[in-house]
A and B are shown apart, each in its own frame.
Chain A
């Protein structure tokens, strides 16, 4: 029989913050090891028994989660310095003590919870959708070639998790840069046969405040993206599209699409 003293422990340090305005602080925890644990299940252990490493009772740690299979993006946090999803961060693969911190690029709500509203605002700003509403039936749109659909599917895997924004040195609370994720969505919807009917609107939007030009080519985003989206290729492709759009806007006879 395994006694309590023989049980393997997992060392966890959490960068906690009680309210959006309060001063953050590190708190250390120790939880019993179980095989195949992930960061979420370790956090659940702490929640069941919120006692820190000094044996003092504390408040349960707050974090966000939803799908638990790395498709929703809600549980993103900074784990040992790297932003990633905590559901797919396996304890066995992490060096201890495991340091958990919120993605400070976003406003912290509490502990590991952040407010990712700026990403959703950016998606609205760049019109990251295909407009099909009208006063009458517009009929079928043009067909998308199958090979293009397969390529576009990779871009559509973005779950707005915020990891690329956290990794980007040019996105911060002090800068208005929208970051790689919404930019790549512009490329996705501009590639769609119906979506491309509004491509000039999206391009002009990312040529405004906080747009494309803020990219400094550090290329951390493409390294950090959990879905392997070619973010830097998207940005470079948009750089060419906006170069053309810029000349069209100025020298073109009108500003219509194509």
Chain B
């Protein structure tokens, strides 16, 4: 990757984080929420998602490739930073560091999560349904891991929306950036509630 094209890679990284990865995450958490309505509703929802036409193409082009680029380029970005919250303890500097920490954690979490669910289904070892998740989350350590994973993802998305607005030049003034902070905080809280409620429904 040439450094001269850095601008475009960065903009692509910012865009893909929202569209499609952020949209997919929102959709995923919302569909998971069917679990709160009981085993049958959840299984019906997963069955519907699984039987979407052109599923493999949707998975590759809407999820897999954008997510892979966002993850790998993100790891590179995270490791070029030299964090200094000790001397600059502002909210934005902490969020900057947190964005990088959650990003790295999410790479680990998502690899594990995909291996445990989608990959097992792909090799025909298991079926993705309510029981599968109930089994995984019956382990309190796994439940903790998943809760941290979901909250990391919702934080990373919400803060990513804030950065997206700045990086594309939409919010310029300090005032608009401040209001965007509050709006993205609400997005973070709302998605976290949706995500964690779904997780707890399996327990």
Contact = CB atoms under 8 A, between A and B. Distances in A.
B96 interface: yes
B4 interface: yes
Contacts of B162: 217
A114 interface: no
Contacts of A170: 80-82
Contacts of B10: 213-214
B118 interface: no
B139 interface: no
A169 B153 CA distance: 23
Contacts of B93: 169, 218-220
Nearest to A241: B169
B37 interface: no
Interface residues of A, number: 38
A183 interface: no
Given A213-B6, A217-B92, A218-B96, A243 B168 contact: yes
Interface centre among B3, B11, B87, B163 (most CB of A within 10 A): B87
Given A170-B81, A214-B10, A233-B173, A176 B92 contact: no
Contacts of B51: none
B90 to A, nearest CB: 6
Interface in A68-96: 81-82
Interface string A217-239: 11110011000001011011111
B81 A208 contact: no
B167 interface: yes
Nearest to A213: B10
B6 A220 contact: no
Nearest to A221: B88
Contact of B169 (A176, A223, A230, A243): A243
A155 to B, nearest CB: 14
A224 B81 CA distance: 18
B7 interface: yes
Interface string B1-35: 00110111111000000000000000000000000
A242 B11 CA distance: 11
Contacts of A167: 84, 87-88
Given A210-B3, A232-B174, A219 B84 contact: no
A56 interface: no
A237 B9 CA distance: 20
A174 B4 CA distance: 16
| Residue among A208, A217, A237 with the highest chain B CB neighbour number at 10 A | A217
A126 to B, nearest CB: 14
B3 A236 contact: no
Nearest to A176: B3
A230 B176 CA distance: 14
Nearest to A235: B166
Contacts of A216: 77, 81, 96, 163
A223 B90 contact: yes
Most A CB contacts (10 A, CB to CB) among B7, B171, B173 go to B7
List the 6 closest A-B pairs by CB distance, nearest first.
A240-B169, A213-B10, A218-B96, A239-B169, A81-B87, A209-B3
Given A213-B9, A218-B96, A246-B7, 9 more contacts: A167-B88, A169-B97, A170-B82, A213-B10, A216-B77, A217-B92, A220-B84, A220-B92, A239-B172
